[in-house]
Amino acid sequence: MRKIAAPVAMAAAGFLFIGGGVAVADIADPFGANRLTGDKTTQVIAEAKEGPAKNVILLIGDGMGDQEITQARNYEVGAGGTLPGIDALPLTGQMTTYSVTAEGDADYVPDSAATGTGWATGQKTYDNAVSVDHQGNPLKSILKYAKDKGLKTGNVTTSEVQDATPAVLAASVKQRACYSPSRVEQCGDDALDKGGAGSISEQHISTRADLTMGGGAEYFDDEILAGEYEGQTVLESAEAEGFNVINTADELEALTVADQEAPVLGLFEPKNMVREWAETVAPVGGYYADDAVTCQPNPEVPSTSPDLAAMTSKSLELLENDKGFFLQVEGASIDKADHARDACGQIGETIAFDKAVQEALAFAEADGETLVIVTADHSHNAQLTEGPDDNVPSIRLLTNEGSEMGIVYPSGGHSGTQIRVAAYGPGAANVTGLIDQTDLFGIMSRGLQLDTDAPDDEPTTAPTESPSSEPSETPTGEPTESPSGDPTETPSGDPTETPSGEPTETPTGEPSGTPGGEPTGSPSTDGDGAGGGTDGGSGADTDPAPNAPRGGLAETGGPAAIAAIAAGIALLGGSAALWKQRRSGH
Distance CA 429, CA 426 (A): 8
390 annotated among ligand-binding-site residues: no
Distance CA 508, CA 461 (A): 25
Distance (Å, whole) CA 442 – CA 549 = 8
Domain boundaries, given as residue ranges, for the chain: 1-33, 51-453+478-485+494-513+521-556
Instruction: Please list, residue by residue across 300-332, b when 16 or more beta carbons sit within 10 angstroms of its beta carbon and e when fewer do.
Output: ebeeebbbbbbbbbbbbebbeeeebbbbbbbbb
163: annotated binding-site residue? yes
Residue 376: strand, helix, or coil: strand
Q: Which residues share a beta bridge with 375? A: 60
Annotated binding residue at 378?
yes
* Annotated binding residue 335: yes
Share of the chain above pLDDT 70, in %: 73
Query: Which positions ≥6 away from 48 have C-beta within 8 Å?
Result: 91, 428, 429, 561, 562, 565
pTM for the whole thing?
A: 0.79
Strands 99-100 and 106-107: antiparallel
The three-state (H, E, C) secondary structure of 94-107, written as one string: EEECCEECCCCCEE
Give every CB contact of residue 508 below 8 A, 6+ residues apart in sequence.
185, 520, 521, 522
**Which of 31-52 are b and which e, b meaning 16 or more Cβ less than 10 Å from the residue's Cβ?**
eeeeeeeebbbeebeebbbebb
339 assigned ligand-binding residue? yes
On average, the pLDDT of the chain sits at 82
pLDDT digits (tens, 9 = 90+) for 12-48: 334 343 444 444 568 999 988 999 989 999 999 999 9
User: Is residue 580 scored above 80 in pLDDT?
Assistant: no
Strand partners, 433: 93
Query: Would you state the pLDDT for residue 104?
Result: 87
Rounded distance between C-alpha atoms, residue 402 and residue 387, angstroms: 19
Q: Active-site residues: which are they?
A: 112
Q: Is 41 annotated as a binding residue?
A: no
Q: What is the pLDDT of residues 497-531, one digit of tens each?
A: 433 344 443 333 333 444 444 333 333 334 443 33
377 a known binding residue?
Answer: yes
Using 50, 70 and 90 to split pLDDT, how confident is the model at 191?
Answer: very high
Q: Is 584 exposed, middle or buried (0-12, 13-18, 19+ CB in 10 A)?
A: exposed
**For residues 187 and 167, what is the distance between their CA atoms, to the nearest angstrom?**
14
pLDDT of residue 26: 87
Alpha carbon 148 to chain centroid distance? 24
> 145: helix, coil or strand?
helix
Write out pLDDT tens, residues 332-365. 999 999 999 999 999 999 999 999 999 999 999 9
What's residue 16's pLDDT? 42
Instruction: Give the model's pLDDT for residue 454.
Output: 74
d(CA 293, CA 279): 11
The string of pLDDT tens digits covering residues 101-130 is 888 899 999 999 999 999 999 999 999 999
Query: What is the assigned CATH class of domain 51-453+478-485+494-513+521-556?
Result: alpha beta
pLDDT tens digits, residue range 390-432? 999 999 999 999 999 999 999 989 999 999 999 999 999 999 9
Going by pLDDT thresholds of 50, 70 and 90, the confidence category of residue 452 is very high
**pLDDT in the model for residue 37:** 87
Question: What confidence score (pLDDT) does residue 412 get?
Answer: 87
Separation CA 129–CA 562 (nearest Å): 38
Q: Please tell me which of 2-6, 9-13, 179-183 the model is most confident about, judged by mean pLDDT.
A: 179-183
Q: Which of 137-146, 432-441, 557-566 has the lowest mean pLDDT?
A: 557-566
Q: Answer whether 380's CB lies under 8 Å from 415's CB.
A: yes
